[in-house]
Amino acid sequence: MRKIELLSPAGDMKKLKTALYFGADAVYVGGKGLSLRALATNFSNDELLEAVEFTHSLGKKIYVTVNVFGRNSDIEEAEKYFKFLESIKIDGAIISDTGLMYLAKTVAPNLPLNLSTQANTLNYKTVEFWKNFGVKRVILARELSKKEIKEISKKVPDIEIETFIHGAMCISYSGRCLLSDYRTGRSSNRGECVQACRWNYEIREKGSETAFMEMQEDERGTYIMNSKDLNLLDYIAELDDAGVCSFKIEGRMKSEYYLATVVNAYRRAIDAYYERGEKYKENPLYQEELKKTAHREFTTAYFLGDNDRTVNYDDSQSKGTHKFIANVIEGNNNREYAIIEMRNRFVVGDHLEVLSPSDSFNKAIKVERLENEKGEIVTDAKLVQEKLKLYTDIPLSAGDILRKEN
């Protein structure tokens, strides 16, 4: 069976390590410029070098987004950046702009080239063109059905196909929206999108200052452009059959807890698919896991070919059943306690749940004893980033996460 690559976002070094710890085969990151997530922390050149070395030391891959739509003023910077990326031996530069793609091929001939989803690739002739150009991988537009993806793979077999399988979606073609520019002056095409599509709006009758149309869903307005979140966890077999080699999770600006939860769920589901085939879907654990972190209502979008309703008219808020309580920074091997770093308040007597790639996953810990770094007993843990000793006989390792049901 062909190996599926589970590809996770990573907005900074800590998130990169979290994604890889929880089972991602590869990560994609952005630099300080020329990336469509300008509001994420992102990586300096020195940090990118560190990230590449760390990722490769685990036998995993790292891709770098250079998916801004370039202006004349970007060309000189891009030329230097492509040469730098080639020198540190990343596994692929993700590019959307045709001119920047040509520049990268010219100035950094050994740099592997991936075509970004922002290029909105929808047909096999476009894929064939980019293959002949020298592109190694095409990240298809989200607007394709499984039938269309499979046809592309069959028509152009000698190129890698990547597609998004989970996360937030644009209400327009990715990267082609000007709503953020119009409302705030912050360009979505330059990585500064404020997601104005998710704000609540009211429609007013022309010529009237007071008469509103009867379409508001609640007192806050109606969310007429607010997309649901993509979720294709139940369609691993179909994606595999369609020729998709890399399953991509959206979210370079998402939290460490979000990445751990989603990567862990897909890692376990993909591994179960290898073992049991389509029967992996009989285990409800994986979908339940995805609900434990912030998410909007889920959709399969265009994948099944029936254009599942992608707009959530009722609400733009993300919801989850659990909250992030603490990171485990030192495990409890050969001792009675693990050292944790606080993220949200909890008290003695609470039941915490373990999020881990190990067999401790989903095990419950009743908090019976806590100590601070001075050895003092703590009954109410409420200081963010405080380090505490948590006494438990449940095996915990550095990198594990503790959470609690809301």
CATH number for the domain spanning 395: value is: 2.40.30.10
For residues 89 and 234, membership in a common domain is answered with: yes
For residues 343 and 328, give the distance between their C-alpha atoms in angstroms, rounded to a whole number. Answer: 11
Does some domain include residue 310?
no
* 349 close to 395: Cβ distance less than 8 angstroms: no
Residues 256 and 379 in one domain: no
In this structure, are 13 and 107 located in the same domain?
Answer: yes
What one-letter code names the amino acid at 310? T
User: How does strand 380-381 pair with strand 370-371?
Assistant: unpaired
Low-confidence ranges of the chain (pLDDT < 50): 212-222, 313, 316
Indicate if 13 and 46 belong to the same structural domain. yes
The span from the CA of 25 to the CA of 178, in Å, is: 34
SS3 of the chain: helix, strand, coil, percent, to 5: 30, 25, 45
The answer to the question of residue 42 being in a domain is yes
Same domain for 166 and 93 = yes
In this prediction the pTM is 0.88
**Eight-class DSSP state of 379:** S
Do residues 286 and 326 share a domain? no
User: Is the sign of the CA dihedral 25, 361, 403, 232 positive or negative?
Assistant: positive
Domain that holds residue 357: 322-405
Rounded to whole angstroms, the Cα distance separating 308 from 405 reads 30
Q: Give me the pLDDT at residue 84, please.
A: 98
Residue 189 lies in a domain: no
Question: Is the CB of residue 312 less than 8 Å from the CB of residue 227?
Answer: yes
Rg (CA), the chain: 23
d(CA 233, CA 289): 11
Give how many domains the chain has, as a whole number.
2
259: left (phi over 0), alpha (psi -120 to 50) or beta: alpha
Residue 257's pLDDT is what? 96
**Residue 318: per-residue pLDDT:** 63
At 87, give phi and psi (nearest 5°): -70, -30
> Do β-strands 298-299 and 229-231 pair in parallel, antiparallel, or remain unpaired?
parallel
Q: CA-to-CA distance for 180 and 135, rounded, in angstroms?
A: 31
35 with 131, same domain: the answer is yes
**Beta-ladder partners of 160:** 137
In a domain, 361, yes or no: yes
- Specify the CATH number for the domain of residue 101: 3.20.20.70
Nearest to 136 by CA among 103, 92, 96: 92
The answer to whether residues 107 and 248 belong to one domain is yes
Give CA separation, 49 vs 85, 98, 386, in Å: 9, 26, 30
Q: Are residues 166 and 81 in the same domain?
A: yes
Q: Is residue 194 part of a domain?
A: no
How far, in Å, CA of 236 to CA of 13, rounded? 28
Structure tokens belonging to residue 198: 């998710």
Q: In what order do the strands lie in the sheet with 387-391?
A: 364-366, 351-355, 401-405, 322-330, 337-342, 387-391, 370-371
pLDDT, position 208: 58
pLDDT reported for residue 18: 98
Q: Is residue 48 part of a domain?
A: yes
pLDDT of amino acid 33: 80
Q: How far apart are CA 186 and CA 192, in angstroms?
A: 5
- One domain for residues 274 and 356: no
Q: Which helix (H) or strand (E) holds 79?
A: helix 75-87
Q: Is the residue at 130 inside a domain?
A: yes
